Each structure stands twice: as structure tokens, then as C-alpha cells.
Amino acid sequence: MYVAVKGGEKAIDAAHDWLAKERRGDRAVAELSLAQIREQMSLAVNRVMAEGSLFDPDLAALAIKQARGDLIEAIFLIRAYRTTLPRLGASRPVDTGAMRCDRRISATFKDAPGGQVLGPTFDYTHRLAGLQTGGRGGRIRGRVPVCGDATDEAVPKPRITDILGRDGLIQDEPPGEAEPPDMTRAPMDYPAGRALRLQALTRGDEGFLLGMAYSTQRGYGRNHPFVGELRIGTVEVEMEVPELGEAVCVGELTLTECETVNQFAGSKIEPAQFTRGYGLVIGQTERKAISMALVDRALRWEELGEEDSGAPAQDAEFVLGHADNIQATGFLEHIKLPHYVDFQSELELVRRMRAEAAREAAE
């Protein structure tokens, strides 16, 4: 006698209980506070905000804790929450030229107005696991500059590309008047304009963009980038308030901006000019911003009169269609769900085809 397995409801409840227990871990170890995650896991918090498309460090910290440190799961929590939020309005475009920079470097010029500011970077650390210090890093020597130092703010940091642009050495990016699309409120539409592409890239998966960008460096849609400028810091967010008749600052955002200077385009009529790639990402998210700039540049092949070399990074449908880790992980992981109905239909088909082949062989 056979009785079909039941008890899906009980199994789900038990799994959730077990998950809660595992999330807490050994109760003899103190529980993490959200403030600890926000302050000491700040790059994880930044990634969750960037790919969750929501600037809220406390909420990102909560999501990381709830997700047991699985950042894609945390991003998912943020996205699912974000989509329920009402849209109060749109800000004015932020002015990254007026950014209060924690970090600002250029790889194209030894020095530039505003100077090179290394900021809090891993770049020149020796990657020696801090076995003696328990991961605390070295002792802090002397006075640590903080963001928004009066001395620092006094030095304007004009964009490197603006300096190149003054001499006409780099292609101009005229400001567009059109209202940019909102990919969270309209279905994706191909071919996608650059504003839509940049939107998709900035919330795309860091690992995916890194791989795509890396592929262009290795020759799949090569566009030889120089990091014209990389800057990280805070910008003011302003909104027009009709009642007041002016724009008011409603808050601050930490952003990472990368502008690449790429190989030139030109023709008999137009003299040679460098071209640009652009990356702008929420938080201190340098690897992502540089990757984004390289991929943006690769996707501009048509507009810049280049050839389609068939590289994956040049294919907007391929890149934009697969950059979102929430879509990707959902569809990938759904193959864990039961598929026995579809499998049964194939099983039956294969058996029938094999039976027919056997019968033909016997004849």
C-alpha cells in the first residue's frame, strides 16, 4: 500500500525554525548589533545598498544580519522592501564635481588641481592576514583625516575629464533634456538607451560586471581604458520644493564615481578624440564603479562608430539581461523546485523513442 507524502506545511515551518536557530549561531557568543554591522562591515553594507538600489545603511545592516551574511540574499530583502516604497518625487541630478572626496585619484596625470587623495584604500596594504591582531589592522598613527576636513574642502577638485574636455581632447557629453527612464517602473525595452543601460549596470551584480569588464581587458571588446579619475565621497541631494520655489538639500549620499579615458575615435572630418566610460555606484564600491565604466564603454560601440566584434561585453541584451543577481539567483535556484511533471513527460518520451528504436532493430 502506498500513501503519498504529505506535510509540506509542517516541513516549511520546521525549516524556518531551524534557519532562525542557525542564524543566531552559538548562543555563548554575543549577538551582533546592527550598528556593529553598519560600522565594521561597511563595504558589505555598501554593496547591499548599491545592488539593492536603496541608500539606507541601517536597513542594509539589518538585511545582512537577517540573511546570515549572504549578500545576495540581503540585496533581495532590500529590493523586495524598496519596491513597496512610494515615490515622493525625483531629486535634481547630483553634482559629483562638488563631491566632498574621501578619495580621489587619477591614473592619467601625475598631479592635478585638487591633488591625489588616496583615502581609506586597501590598495597598498600587504595582504597579510592579521594573525597577531585578530584582523584589526595596524596601529593608527597620528591624526586621521576625516571626510569634510575644512582644509580639504577648501581645495576644489575639478573633474579630470573636464580639464581634457576644455581642449577638446575628449568627446563631449552634452546634457540630455529627456527625462531618464525608470527601470523599476517600466519593463526593460531593447535596444536600451545609455541612461537605461547605466541604471541597469549600477544595480547589477558586482561579480558579473567585474567578469564582463575583465573580459574587455583581455581582448573581448577591447577598449583600452585609463582611469581618468576615481572619486569617492559625499554629495548633497537636492529636491525642488514647489511650495518654497527653490531646491533644498534633503540629505547626503556616499557615491563612487569612475570616469575612464578610452581610446580615441575620429575620422577625416573629425579630429581624433578620447572617448569615455562612466561608472557611478552608491557607497564606497570602487571595484564595481571601475567595472561599470569599462562595460559602459564597451556597450557604446555603435554610438562611437566601432565594429561589433561579437564580444559578450558589447552585447547589451546579453549584459543587461544577465547582470541582475536577484533575477539570476531566483531563476537559477528555482530548479530546486519540483519538476517531476515535466521530467515525467520527458521520461515517457525517451522510453517510447527507445522502445521504437528497439523494435526497428529487431525487425
Partner 1 sequence: MTDAAYNFAYLDEQTKRMIRRAILKGVAIPGYQVPFASREMPMPYGWGTGGVQVTAACLTPADTLKVIDQGADDTTNAVSIRRFFQRTAGVAATERTAEASVIQTRHRIPETPLTEGQILVYQVPIPEPLRFLEPRETETRRMHALEDYGLMHVKLYEDIARNGAISTAYAYPVKVEGRYVMDPSPVPKFDNPKLESPAIQLFGAGREQRIYAIPPYTRVVSLDFEDHPFEASKADHACDLCGAEESYLDEVITDDAGGRIFVCSDTDFCAGRRAGGHRGALAAEDVA
Q: Does residue number 84 form part of the binding site for partner 1 (CB under 8 A)?
A: yes
DSSP string, 213-259: HHHHHTTTT----EEEEEEEEEEEEEEEETTTTEEEEEEEEEEEEEE
Q: Does residue number 346 form part of the binding site for partner 1 (CB under 8 A)?
A: yes
Residue 35 or 350 with smaller CB distance to partner 1: 350
Q: Does residue number 327 form part of the binding site for partner 1 (CB under 8 A)?
A: yes
Nearest residue to 31 via CA among 64, 65, 58, 78:
65
Binding piece for partner 1, criterion CB under 8 A, among 43-51, 117-125, 133-141, 329-337: 329-337
Q: How far is the CB of 68 from partner 1 (least distance, A)?
A: 16
Alpha helices in the chain (DSSP H): 8-24, 34-40, 42-52, 57-66, 71-82, 150-153, 160-166, 194-202, 206-217, 286-299, 316-322, 325-333, 340-362
Residue 89 or 187 with smaller CB distance to partner 1: 187
Task: Please give the residues from 38 up to 57 whose contact with partner 1 meets the rule CB under 8 A.
Answer: none
Nearest residue to 306 via CA among 347, 337, 266:
266
Q: b or e along 313-345 (b: 16 or more beta carbons within 10 Å of the residue's beta carbon)?
A: bbbbeebbebbbbbebbeeeeeeeeeeeeeeee
Dist. CA 236–CA 55, nearest whole Å: 13
Residue 162 or 189 with smaller CB distance to partner 1: 189
Q: How far is the CB of 187 from partner 1 (least distance, A)?
A: 4
Q: Does residue number 362 form part of the binding site for partner 1 (CB under 8 A)?
A: no
Binding piece for partner 1, criterion CB under 8 A, among 142-150, 224-232, 274-282, 336-344: 336-344
Number of residues that bind partner 1 (CB under 8 A): 51
Task: Using DSSP, state whether 310 is helix, strand or coil.
Answer: coil
- Chosen residue from 3, 29, 129, 269 binding partner 1 by CB under 8 A: 3
- Chosen residue from 295, 333, 362, 363 binding partner 1 by CB under 8 A: 333
Q: Which residues have CB under 8 Å from 301's CB, separation 6+?
A: 221, 307, 308, 309, 314
Identify whether the C-beta of residue 311 lies closer than 8 Å to the C-beta of residue 221: yes
Q: How far is the CB of 357 from partner 1 (least distance, A)?
A: 8
Q: Does residue number 353 form part of the binding site for partner 1 (CB under 8 A)?
A: yes
Q: How far is the CB of 83 from partner 1 (least distance, A)?
A: 4
Q: Within 13 Å and on the Cβ side, how many CA atoms surround 308?
A: 8
Residue 150 or 335 with smaller CB distance to partner 1: 335
Q: Enumerate binding residues for partner 1 (CB under 8 A).
A: 1-4, 6-9, 11-12, 76, 79-80, 82-84, 86, 184-191, 317, 321, 326-327, 329-334, 337-342, 344-349, 352-353, 356-357
